[in-house]
Structure 1
């Protein structure tokens, strides 16, 4: 069994932690949610939803990485704007054979983590179709577990990548490896771009957005712009018709409420800059108009300006 640290053990990270611990891995959770830490240490972590319903004990839960020691696998699962701090905090956990996986929405996180942890230790991860949320301290729910994709950032060997993803597969995750990590990231990004901004701005679930003509017009507009930008950048989207692909995946988790919506409901800053905002920025560089994404970014950031 492996020793795993999950740095940024929020809703998604808690799903990983619960399932990995359940099959015998030594899992250490690190999160700034003090109530979550206290509940996990007192009662264990409860994960319910598509994977079943289980409550398991973790090796530890803490607000810091202090005392954990060298790990086989370090999963950085923070929000994109916290990745550099998380990578710095992870340095005491990294040994000669440690693999670090960075799992964030949007674009740009791996490029910020690599100089800190080392390119030859880093795997890029893309996860999706989970619809994870925190029900209470120490208790998370997830609607699915559709996408668990990994690729080497730069110098990480195939052997090391496989060794790290074997841990995920042992816990029931269906892992796919990508040599073309740009393709991997963008195949997930178009899904995020479609539903993150549209659910956040409307308060609707993914299924409700798909069923509502007005909301779907916004979501589809975001998707078409993202697909156009990807084409201009020569990104290979190997998903058939991208819009059909998006609707198929969305249809599998109709009750899911993306993290950007959950963040805003809680009065917290979301990741619009690296999701819809990335389409706006890249659209300018390749000459692709992105008026729908531009408008959503401005609306969401205006709302965030009221958050403390």
Structure 2
């Protein structure tokens, strides 16, 4: 179903009215790119509201630095019904969506989650209807360095797909508008397979960065024992995905390790959460894959061991 705007005559954007829920690094970066290229984007802001209302968003990036005036709001009621809602908040806060999302919905509102881990599309489908739900996997090196300040370091692709079904016209429409807005966006035939592919990177690098006491990606790959563990974890995830019917690209391990070397001393998002005292997305990234595998009679001993290490460190 194509996106439809409740006031399309007033909005030139093919996306219609867009809301960003979760205005951290990911939400501000991708929302900022859309706003930069003429889309009608509304940001739900909490701690950054006053700074962003006054000064806008500042994005530093290899694609060019930008200073953007943006539409910031303190409540979703102030934003009102939208055509596309992009959810970029931490999975650990998903319960808040039960109150945040209803004021944003009309009959055709699409919900796009850019969150980490497994289970997010299922959560949205259960509470708001599966026909609304899309998922996106973000492959980007990015940090929020201060209120309203986003540092884009490298990459930026989004792999986009529909929840439990093949791509629709709206899927390709959203991807086309993202591409027009300096966002590399590729449509996936299987969102589930794309989710498992993202886990091949997220599980080892986010996990080992915390388990090893605060190591960035460069330090992990400079340590032979840690690199070996990265590769072994990746192999187990790929094997599990294949057993669940999700065949991932050949040479994925080599490709991911090679690409990670180009990130230099990058701190994964879970490490930043840990260092800053925020709740880590333990169950979505590490626990849920183990549980999905167990339902199919499969075990993930290496991921389980890492999950147990993280749980002990975070408790």
| Distance (Å, rounded) in 2 between the aligned partners of 1:37 and 1:219 | 39
Aligned pairs, number = 300
| Distance (Å, rounded) in 1 between the aligned partners of 2:269 and 2:161 | 23
In the other structure, the counterpart of 2:228 is 217
Q: Output aligned runs, 1:7-18, within 5 Å.
A: 7-18=21-32
Equivalent of residue 130 in structure 2, options 114, 119, 135 = 119
Equivalent of residue 56 in structure 2, options 44, 65, 76 = 44
Equivalent of residue 90 in structure 2, options 73, 79, 83 = 79
| Distance (Å, rounded) in 1 between the aligned partners of 2:235 and 2:267 | 21
| Distance (Å, rounded) in 2 between the aligned partners of 1:61 and 1:275 | 30
What is the RMSD of the two structures over their aligned residues, measured on CA atoms? Answer: 2.1
| Distance (Å, rounded) in 2 between the aligned partners of 1:279 and 1:100 | 23
Shift of 1:51: 3.0
Shift of 1:115: 2.4
Seen in structure 2, the aligned counterparts of structure 1 residues 121 and 284 have a Cα distance that, compared at 3 Å, is: closer
Verify the 8 A CA contact 1:70 1:92 in the aligned structure 2.
yes
Unaligned runs of 5+ in 1: none
- Asked if 1:59 is matched to 2:71, the reply is yes
SS state at 1:67 partner: helix
The C-alpha deviation readout for 1:276-300, integer Å capped at 9, x for no partner, is 2234334444555533322322222
| Distance (Å, rounded) in 1 between the aligned partners of 2:111 and 2:119 | 16
In the other structure, the counterpart of 1:151 is 161
Verify the 8 A CA contact 1:99 1:160 in the aligned structure 2.
no
- Asked if 1:294 is matched to 2:304, the reply is yes
Q: TM-score scaled by structure 1?
A: 0.89
In the other structure, the counterpart of 1:234 is 245
Q: TM-score scaled by structure 2?
A: 0.88
Shift of 1:168: 1.6
Seen in structure 2, the aligned counterparts of structure 1 residues 155 and 286 have a Cα distance that, compared at 3 Å, is: closer
Seen in structure 2, the aligned counterparts of structure 1 residues 92 and 163 have a Cα distance that, compared at 3 Å, is: farther
- Asked if 1:160 is matched to 2:167, the reply is no
Unaligned runs of 5+ in 2: 1-12
| Distance (Å, rounded) in 2 between the aligned partners of 1:31 and 1:52 | 24
In the other structure, the counterpart of 2:105 is 94
In the other structure, the counterpart of 2:202 is 192
Shift of 1:181: 1.7
In the other structure, the counterpart of 2:6 is none
SS state at 1:24 partner: coil
Once superposed, which parts of structure 1, at least 4 consecutive aligned residues long, lie more than 6 Å away? none
